[in-house]
Structures are given as structure tokens and as C-alpha cells.
Amino acid sequence: MTTFVPENLDAHWMPFTANREFRQNPRIITSASGCFYRDQHGREIFDGLSGLWNCGAGHGREEITAAVSQQIATLDYSPAFQFGHPLSFELASRIATLMPDGLEHVFFTCSGSEAVDTALKIARAFWHSQGKASKARLIGRIKGYHGVNFGGISVGGIGPNRYPFGETLQADHLPSTQLEQNRYSRGQPQHGAHTADALLEMISLHGAENIAAVIVEPMAGSGGVIPPPIGYLQRLREICSAHDILLIFDEVITAFGRMGGYSGAEVFGVTPDIMTFAKQISNGSQPLGGVVVQRDIYQHFMYLDTPEYLVELMHGYTYSAHPVACAAALATLDLLQQDLLIERVQNMAPILEDAIHGLRDLPLISDIRNFGLAAGLTLEAAPGEPALRPFQVAMKCWEKGFYVRYGGDTLQLGLPFIVTEQQIHDIVGAIAESLAEIT
Ligand code: PXG
Ligand code: PLP
């Protein structure tokens, strides 16, 4: 195995990366198969985050490779606007059958960030076309992550992702549901449904006639794996319905298996008006995202009082519904079904829950959360440096052959759906050892 390190690491300005640190300690991944990466030194690394939450079926799946190869040879690209290709219609229909009742129409994008901005634009255009242009304000939530485009950071609730970039869209933010009394909850926490009532205060402050939509992740992912308190999403749904405000679930991480169902909406029993997805839809193999909208919203645009040859929604991307990405997604949905991967997530989730909560009494840990095949650990901050310890632990894990996500004051796991019980114990053990080494 040859050691591969590119000569000029500076030419690539890496995303969400400490570029200066990376240059000192390049972590170059050269191949992947199943639950493992291979790095530039030929070492095997267990993939504790399924890529970036998107490779649940495992890496290098032959079925996806074959579908992508065949499609690129058959139709590599066709114009996304005013012309179609068969796979996008097939895929949209498949997705609609997997979503809660009423969520029936799919608008394709290339990423989660684009899906979020698309969802927000659909919400505003929906009201605008009814002569209610003042219904434009958007409500997100503290600690929410909705990608990095201007719409997404406006509703996003992670400060450093917003404030360096200046003025954003008119938005407001619900409080986080991460409460002190919920620490070490297993699955959905007991407390916090009442935090949804902050929406009522925003309605009295801004007026429902000036609010387009509320957007939340059913389970906050990047903010640290924060499952919704029992009754919280139901309460948001009730308030939105009562005040004619659209409810958007950002399911970029939660859709297509991670929660043990096809969507967080299904698992938590609350149906939004609009839902975003990305990531797991193509098992990470091709960039693809999308927005699923309720029947009535789509119908509204189809019955606009405009000539039929005119475009109903002035929005779309060059690569919307890219044929090769659609082929990858159809193969991914086949795999989820044939390999019973959603059932696997359900079966493995209690094993992850027990293993991760087993770390509770270790020094430096101040909270542990989990749902489905996702888990988050909060570490006590080193003086003045809240992000230091998670970074140190993740680097120790990497040295031991485990890729663990770190961000802010948390460590996060998003295990592959094909993970084994032994692998769960191995990665949780590696975290425990790494914690001991930095204490
Ligand atoms: N919404 C949500 C809820 C997300 O989790 C996005 C939108 C944006 O998707 P794109 O495809 O534009 O990145 C995301 C993405 C992590 C991590 O490790 C999470 C995301 C992306 C990268 C890393 O927590 N979430
Ligand atoms: N910028 C320019 C100059 C363009 O021509 C286009 C698309 O035609 C875009 C940005 C948007 O690119 P995309 O459709 O890939 O999002």
C-alpha cells in the first residue's frame, strides 16, 4: 500500500474544516467498503457516521454502482427544465408511497441546503400567490441546522454558521428543546413539549398574517442529536394548523432510515405540510435532495389563474433530478427494502442505546442522547475552549481506527444500518478509551 498525500493541500479550501490543522495532520481516505474506510496508510477505519449521515446501507454497494454505471451510459444528462426523463417520475412516485399520507409531490434538488431553500421559497410563494405576500417571516429554532445557503442560515440556530455572513432573511427562533432536566434521556425526553408554546408568543409579536412557515428538524442532528420531547412536534403541528402557518420538517438526516422508519414524520407520528430530504436517499453515492409537499399545496400551484404554458414556480437547479442521481436513489430504495435495513435500524437501536448510556459515569461526559441509529455525547468544556475536547477525542478515535463526528461541544454517532453488535461495542469502547487518554 503506497502512502498518498497530495503535494499541494492548500489548493483545495476544504468545507467546514480546520484547514490549517488538516495540513499538519492530513486524513486522506482512499477507498471504502461496507462499514469501513481505508486511509492513505492502508489502515481500516470504522465509519461511525455513515459518511456524513448518508451511507447507511454501507459503502461500495454493487447494486448502486451498477445502476449508476448503466444510467450514465444510457442518459448522462438531460435538461432539467421543460423536459423530463423517466427515472425522476419513477423515483418521485416511489418516494410519495413511502411518505405519510398527503405528502405526495416531490421537487428535486442536489443537496440538503438546496432542499431547505426550496422549501422556504415554496412556502413564501404559496402565500404570495394567494395575495398574502406579508406572510413571509420564517421561524426556525435555536441549535437548528438547515444547511448553509442564505435561507437555511436565516432559520438556522447555530450562531457561528450565521453571524459572520451579515444580514439574513426575516426570521425568528424557537427555543431549543435541550433542557437540563432531560439530560441522559433514552430516546425521546419527557420534558419540553411546552417549549413549542413559544410559537404562540411569536404569533402575538409578529402576527400570524406575517408568518409563512415554521421549520424544524424532527430530531436535531448537527446541533448534537437532540430527539424531540414527547408531545413537542404534536404541539407545533396544532399551533401551526390553528394559525394557518406551514410546518416544514427538515428531514435531511432523519429521512430514509436513520430513525427506524422512512421519515421522522412517520416515526414521531406528526405530518408536516412540507418535508425536505437528501443524504440517505442516494446512500451518499450521488448528490441528491428534495422537497415533498402536501397535495393541497401542489394543487394550489396547478390551479393558478395563469396560462398553462407559463411556469408555476420560478425555481429549479441545473442538476435537479439528475438522471444518474435518480438511478442511485432508486437502487438505494431497493436496498433499503430488500435488505430490511429499516427493521435493522429498529433492532440495533436498543443495543446502541444501552452501549452509549454505559458511558454515563465517565469523567468529562455531561449528557448522552440517542434515537434510532444516532447518538450524541456532550463533553464538559475545557476552560475557555468548548470545542477542544470533542476534537481531541475524535482524533484519538481516528488513531484507533474509528471515525467519530465532532462538532461544538459534542461527539456524534450515526452508525451504518448494517452495523453489527460487536462493532457498536468496539466504537463505544474506543470513545471510552479516548476519553480516558485526554483526561
Ligand atoms: N438540513 C439538515 C437537517 C441537515 O442535517 C442540511 C440541511 C444541509 O444538507 P447539505 O446536503 O447541503 O449538506 C443538513 C446537513 C454533521 C453534518 O456531521 C450534518 C450535515 C452536513 C454535514 C455534516 O452533523 N447536515
Ligand atoms: N450562476 C450562473 C451564472 C448560472 O448560469 C447558473 C445556472 O444556469 C447558476 C449560477 C445556478 O447553477 P445551478 O443551476 O447549478 O444551481
CA-to-CA distance for 270 and 216, rounded, in angstroms? 12
By the 8 A CB rule, do 152 and 216 touch? no
pLDDT in tens, 235-291: 999 999 999 999 999 999 999 999 999 999 999 999 999 999 999 999 999 999 999
List, for residues 126-156, the tens digit of each pLDDT value. 999 999 999 999 999 999 999 999 999 999 9
Residue 7 in this model has a pLDDT that exceeds 90: no
pTM (2 d.p.): 0.96
User: What pLDDT is recorded for position 6?
Assistant: 76
For residue 320, which ligand has an atom nearest its CA?
2
pLDDT tens digits, 392-402: 999 999 999 99
Express each pLDDT in 422-436 by its tens digit: 999 999 999 999 999
Cell triple for residue 273?
A: 405540510
In this structure, are strands 374-379 and 410-414 parallel, antiparallel, or unpaired?
antiparallel
Q: Over range 107-111, report the average pLDDT.
A: 98
State if residue 319 touches ligand 2 by the CB under 6 angstroms criterion: yes
Percent of the chain, pLDDT > 90?
A: 97
Q: Report which bound ligand comes closest to the CA of 220.
A: 1
pLDDT at 4 (0 to 100): 64
Indicate if the pLDDT at residue 232 is higher than 60.
yes
Determine the average pLDDT of the residues in 88-117: 98
With a 6 Å cutoff on the Cβ, whether 301 touches ligand 2 is no
* pLDDT category of residue 439 using cuts at 50, 70 and 90: confident
User: What region does 212 belong to: left with phi over 0, alpha with psi -120 to 50, or beta?
Assistant: alpha
Ligand 1: which of 252, 256, 283, 286 to mutate, judged by most atoms within 8 Å of the beta carbon? 252
> How would you class 101 by CB atoms within 10 Å of its CB: exposed for 0-12, middle for 13-18, buried for 19 or more?
exposed
Is 391 a residue whose pLDDT tops 90?
yes
Spell out the domains of the chain, with CATH numbers in brackets. 9-57+340-438 (3.90.1150.10), 65-338 (3.40.640.10)
